[in-house]
Amino acid sequence: MTAATPPAHAHSEAVAIAAERRWVYVVGAIIALLILMMVVTGLHWASMPPSRVETVDVKTLHLKGEFVENNLGTTLGTDGKVTVRLIAQQYAFMPQCIVVPAEMPVTFRGTATDAIHGFVVGTTNANTMLIPGFVATFTTTFKKTGEQLMPCHEYCGTGHEAMWAKVQVLPPQEFLARARSGERLSCVAS
């Protein structure tokens, strides 16, 4: 269109292209850094979202397998590992109150019997979805002792807003004293 570009115009265009290029490098560096951070924290601290495609039959959930009633709640295994098993259904968690130790890794294994549910424990990173047909599992460590709220965070029907459980985080010694190996713990001290 323009027969000859005036020199001043050509100069400003060169400046513009250089500025643009600098910005592209900055953007590229930011993105590369973000991805690097995800890789390093994922590999180094094994900090990863819950991630095993593990199915479970909803129709026999209450009748057999690891999610039968007397297997729900917190157990201290013979190998010293703490496992919490729980079930979500409209509109309650089973159990409604969970006891866990502070400063020890705790593995959660949960599923849902009907709709999709989910939970987050207070201000911690314990946060997962419970999808019928699948077992959600993740391991976390609680830093502070005390009681935390555990609401269902996925809309699961009209009673969703009433679906709250509690998590009691005990000092490790107190937890170990109460947990005789293999037995379930309850929020009410026996």
Partner 1 sequence: MLLAKKLVLAHFWVAFVAFLGAIVLGEWQMFVRSPLAQWVNNPEHYYRSVTAHGTVMAYVLPTLVAMGFGYAISELALKRPLLGVKWAWLGFWLVVLGTAMAAVTMAMGKASVLYTFYPPMIASPFYYFGVVLVVVGSWVWVALMSVNLHAWKKENPGQTVPLAMFGNVAGAYLWAWTSVGAAVEVIVLILPASLGWTDTINAGLARVFFSWTLHAIVYFWLMPAYIVFYTIVPRAIGGRLYSDTMGRVAFVLFLVFSMPIGIHHLFADPQVGAGFKFVHAAMTAMVSVPTLLTVFTIVASVEIAGRLRGGTGLFGWIRALPWGNPMMLAVTFSFIMLGFGGAGGIINMSYQLNETVHNTQWVTGHFHLIFAGAIVLMYFMAAYELWPQLTGSGPLPQSLIKLQVWLWFIGMMILSMPWHLVGLLGMPRRMAYYDYTHPDIQPQAWTVIASTFGGLLLVISAFILVFILARAHRTPKTAPPPFTFSLEAHPGGRTPALLNGYALWLAMMIGLTLVNYGFPIAQLASLKEASVPVIPIGSR
Residues within window 126-185 making contact with partner 1, judged by CB under 8 A: 127-137, 149, 151-161
Q: Can you say whether the dihedral through the CA atoms of 182, 187, 119, 105 is positive or negative?
A: negative
Q: How far is the CB of 50 from Cu ion (least distance, A)?
A: 17
Kindly state the number of chain residues that form the binding site for partner 1, as judged by CB under 8 A. Answer: 67
* Contact of 49 with 129, CB cutoff 8 Å: no
The pair phi, psi for residue 69, each rounded to 5°, is -50, -50
Q: Which of 156, 167, 169, 179 forms a contact with Cu ion (CB under 5 A)? A: 156
Q: Which of 152, 170, 179, 185 forms a contact with Cu ion (CB under 5 A)? A: 152
* Contact of 185 with 179, CB cutoff 8 Å: yes
Q: Which of 55, 70, 78, 173 forms a contact with partner 1 (CB under 8 A)? A: 55
Q: By CB under 8 A, is residue 86 in contact with partner 1?
A: no
Residue (116 or 176) nearer to Cu ion, CB: 116
Residue (165 or 170) nearer to Cu ion, CB: 165
State whether residue 96 is helix, strand or coil.
Answer: coil
* Contact of 126 with 108, CB cutoff 8 Å: yes
Beta strands per DSSP E along 23-135 = 73-76, 82-89, 92-94, 97-101, 105-112, 117-120, 127-130
State the residues that interact with partner 1 by CB under 8 A.
1-2, 5, 9, 12-13, 16, 19-20, 23-24, 27-28, 30-31, 34-35, 37-38, 41-42, 47-59, 114-116, 118, 120-125, 127-137, 149, 151-161
